Structure 1
Amino acid sequence: CLTDKGPCTPQGKELKKIVPEVIQTSCTKCSPQQKKVVRNVITTMQSKYKDQWDLVVNKYDPKKQRSGELKAFLSGTD
Structure 2
Amino acid sequence: MDESAVSSDPVIALLLDEVVVKDWCKRTFKNIIAELKPIYNLNVEEVKERSNVLLKFTARLACILSVLEVLESSFKGSLSAQL
Q: Same fold, TM exceeding 0.5?
A: no
**Higher helix proportion, which one?**
2
TM-score (norm 2): 0.30
TM-score (norm 1): 0.31
